[in-house]
Amino acid sequence: MNERLIVVSNRLPMGDTPSGGLVVSLHDVLAASGGCWIGSHPEAGDDHGAFERIGEEPYQRLAFRLTQSEMENYYLGYANSVLWPLCHRRPDLVKIRPAYREAYEAVNRRIAAMIAHEVSPEDIIWVQDYHFIPLARELRKLRVTNRIGFFLHIPFPVLADLSIMPQAETFAECLAHYNLIGLQTREDVARCLEMFRDDPRAEFMTDGSIKFGEHVSLVHSFPIGIDAKAFEDEARRELPDVFGGASPAPFAIGVDRLDYSKGLPNRFRAFGTYLADLRPEHTRPCLIQIAPPTRLGVQAYEDITEELQGLTGKINGQFAELDWTPIRFINRSVERARLAHLFRMARCGLVTSLADGMNLVAKEYIAAQDPADPGVLVLSQFAGAAEDMTEALLVNPYDIEAMAHRIDEAFRMPLGERQRRYRHCLEVVRKTDATSWAHNFLNVLRSSLKALDLAFQE
């Protein structure tokens, strides 16, 4: 059998040296299977009916270009102003416009038609994330009978919020066209099953699969991870002088895309409360927050940027001294080697998401620590990572006082306890790494389908 893996994601990863857990792990799997990766690229040719082929080795990359209107209505619109806020429990930020939904459906139809031309009978297709929920349905309409799996990188929405979505009844139906629905956590699986249980069209089979019309799907959790070994190695490399000669006081670090789901205002407020009420006298701790802007053009992202600039100004205005700036708010992305180095130097890593599929920064922070003198991860109970990393300092990010106390605890924690917690978290990071994520998903996709094929033959 000459099986190829076809990965579909919103954006095509570029560059010869891939970085980031997801890209690296898929890169390896694709290279081994001689498969192909399909995704958008801003410089792809604008032939609307065919992919542009970029490179052949070690696997093919097939690019498509999104038009200006598709960017506005499909990407910034339906994907990031409807589905993203809805899945992150911010229905107040959902913007419903008919043009968004139409563009979302149209892009999924267009890409499905292009994939249908590419696919061979033995291929398996793995669709990534909320940009492409209807893709399997569109492929099935074109009589593509291959195995198709789907992985949702963000939280599965709560049932009560689903009805806010335009054409809410199609959500379950679209998902049911996938043979395997992969989610980050067991809690996500529970929410997805609750949705199917609430839907009279869905029938639960004795083997745990769900029958929906003529389709049978499995729902399973596959916690995503990082390339742990590579990140541990990266953090061990000596880098000269990241602070330009000034040796830093103990500091906490946050690294996030500048997104309202990451709980940054609450984090800044908690740090302010820590400075005001808990900081030992004569100490000058800092919070280094690295947060490059994303999704420019969506109002909610402009609002959060402004709110954070205001908070930084206020807290620094209140506490700064001529030679001490308590919050350093850096709106840029930082290269990975430097990031790993900063993680290792930081006494405390802050991940305070209000909702988050997994949060890879939590795993990167742990992988970067020095085992002889590790820092402490303060982790939101609402990040998917908290389901397994139970020895991080878990916190409710809505509780500012509690977060301030967690920061204090992290700065004061004795070495023995730091090491114990670190070792437990590191074990989780290594066990649920990027490679096992991809392999586990693909193994279940293959084996579930064998079982289903047999069932259909009987």
List of residues contacting ligand ADQ (CB under 6 A): 20, 22, 153-154, 224, 255-257, 290, 292, 333-334, 339, 356-361, 364
Q: Do 90 and 261 contact (CB within 8 A), yes or no?
A: yes
Burial (CB count <10 Å: 0-12, 13-18, 19+), residue 243 = exposed
Which residue among the candidates 28, 188, 356, 433 is catalytic per the annotation?
Answer: 356
List C-alpha distances in Å: 106 to 109, 113, 114, 353: 5, 11, 12, 32
Cβ count near 195 (within 10 Å): 18
Q: Hunting for tokens 């999104």 — which residue is that?
A: 66
Spatial separation of the C-alpha atoms in residues 303 and 307, rounded to whole Å:
6
Q: How far apart are CA 53 and CA 204, in angstroms?
A: 42
Please, what is the minimum distance in Å from the beta carbon of residue 77 to ligand ADQ? 19
Q: Name which of 364 and 391 has its Cβ closer to ligand ADQ.
A: 364
How far, in Å, CA of 236 to CA of 245, rounded?
20
User: CA-CA distance, 145 to 334, in Å (whole number)?
Assistant: 43
CA 233 to the chain's CA centroid:
23
Active site residue 439: no
- Rounded Cα gap, residues 46 and 42, in angstroms: 10
The structure tokens listed for 265 are 């205002």
257 sits in the region (left: phi over 0; alpha: psi -120 to 50; else beta) called beta
The answer to whether the beta carbons of residues 89 and 83 sit under 8 Å apart is no
| Spatial distance between the Cα atoms of 447 and 93, rounded to a whole number of angstroms | 40
Give the CA distances from residue 239 to residues 18, 20, 229, 232, 243, in Å, rounded to whole numbers and listed in that order.
21, 20, 18, 14, 10
199 flagged as catalytic: no
Report which residue type is found at 374. P
Look-up: residue for tokens 């590790």?
374
257 burial class (0-12, 13-18, 19+ CB within 10 angstroms)?
Answer: middle
Distance (Å) of CA 327 to CA 135, 271, 284, 400: 44, 9, 11, 17
* C-beta closer to ligand ADQ: residue 257 or 284: 257
Q: Which amino acid is at 369?
A: Q
Quick count: other Cβ atoms within 10 Å of Cβ 90? 16
**Residues 27, 131, 153, 220: which is the catalytic one?**
153
Catalytic residues: 153, 356
